[in-house]
Each structure stands twice: as C-alpha cells, then as structure tokens.
Amino acid sequence: MKTTLTAVAALMIAISPLAAQTTAPAATAPVTFIEQQTNEEVLGTDFVGSPVLAKDNQQIGKIANLVFDKDGRIAIAVIGVGGVLGIGEKEVAVPFDAIKSEVKDNKHVFTVDATKEQLKAAPAYKTLNDQAFNQRVTEWRQKAAESWKQAKEKAGQAYDQAKDKVNEKINENKSAETPKVQ
C-alpha cells in the first residue's frame, strides 16, 4: 500500500509540470498602419452627397448614404430625391451595382437607369432605426386608441348619470313650483 501511494505521489509530482502547461494562443499578426490613400482607393465621404444623374444627364438626386453587407462591401446606395436643401427629401434605395460611377472634374458622379419620377414613386427606404421607431409609434397609437375608447366609455356613463340627476332636479323643481289646485 505504501508503495502504491509513493508511486502515485511520484507520478503526480512528475506530471504536474505537464498539467500546468497550457497551449498558448495563436500569435496574431501585428496591426499594419496605412499612411496614405492610393489612387485605387475611394473615401466613403467622397460618395455621400455626390450627384445622381438619369440617363439624360439630368440630376435626379444625391447619394444620401451607403449600406454595407456583412462582408464590408457596398450593397445599397440610398439616394435622396426631391426636397429643397434636404428638407422634404425622400430617400430611396437601389442596389449599388445598379448605378454607374465615374469621375468628372475630380468629383464622383453616379448614373442610374431611372427617371426622377420613378425615384419619387419608389418606396422610401427604411433603416432598422426607422422600422423600430415606426413599430413604437404604431404601438403608442394602439394604446392611445384603447385609452380613448375606455375614457369615452367612462365619460359616457358619467354623462348619462349627470343627465339623469339634472333631469330629476328639474322635475323636482317643476313639481315644487306648480301650485296645487284644491
């Protein structure tokens, strides 16, 4: 028994350094810093605000935003249409590959195969925030409508009770004022 305990203890002592060892995390490459933009690179801010033209080269809107897919590629161009100075502007979205990009006078210009009327008639683009806000507004309207209905029912009951009491008092006063003929 003593020999078995001694053997187990010796084994534990021998393997304890091995048990303490853990696998080190895989080394990651250090971050590389980029000093300047190249001719092949475009800043996102260069796109936003850029004019969008119809095929006839008439401006029909401006790039209002860009939507990226999960892989970081531009998937959608959101185009601001109508309005004056951004007020009353409607935002519609088209797939980014549906617009043609070119540089004119050192500025990005986009062309889409649609008319201004088609863009104005298109459904407005709703971001996730817009959708959540619209959902909350719908819920608030439903709650307000239910509260109004309940208040109207209670007010109707109170009105009927008050009307009955007023009519009772009127009738009491009429009978008190009417002289009795003997």
Co-location of 97 and 144 in the same domain: no
Give the chain's domain count: 2
Co-location of 147 and 93 in the same domain: no
Co-location of 86 and 136 in the same domain: no
Looking at residue 100, its pLDDT comes to 92
| pTM, full prediction | 0.60
Co-location of 141 and 76 in the same domain: no
Co-location of 51 and 111 in the same domain: yes
Burial (CB < 10 A; 0-12, 13-18, 19+), residue 64, is buried
Co-location of 87 and 141 in the same domain: no
Task: Tell me the residue range of the domain where 138 lies.
Answer: 126-164
> Would the pLDDT of 49 be above 80?
yes
Co-location of 144 and 112 in the same domain: no
CA distance 117 to 167: 63
Domain boundary among 125, 147, 174: 125
In a domain, 55, yes or no: yes
Q: Where are the beta strands (DSSP E) in 54-123?
A: 59-68, 74-81, 90-95, 99-104, 107-112
Query: What are the phi and psi torsion angles at 93 (to 5°)?
Result: -120, 145
In a domain, 3, yes or no: no
**53-109 tens-digit pLDDT:** 998 889 999 999 999 999 999 999 999 998 777 678 899 999 999 999 888 888 889
Co-location of 72 and 143 in the same domain: no
Q: Are 62 and 52 in contact (CB under 8 A)?
A: yes
Co-location of 80 and 136 in the same domain: no
72: domain CATH number?
A: 2.30.30.240
Co-location of 48 and 121 in the same domain: yes
Q: Are 108 and 50 in contact (CB under 8 A)?
A: yes
> Would the pLDDT of 37 be above 70?
yes
Co-location of 57 and 96 in the same domain: yes
In a domain, 39, yes or no: no
Burial (CB < 10 A; 0-12, 13-18, 19+), residue 63, is buried
Q: Which among 65, 37, 59 has a CA at the least distance from the CA of 109? A: 59
Looking at residue 5, its pLDDT comes to 42
Angle at 51 between CA 45 and CA 56, to 5 degrees: 155
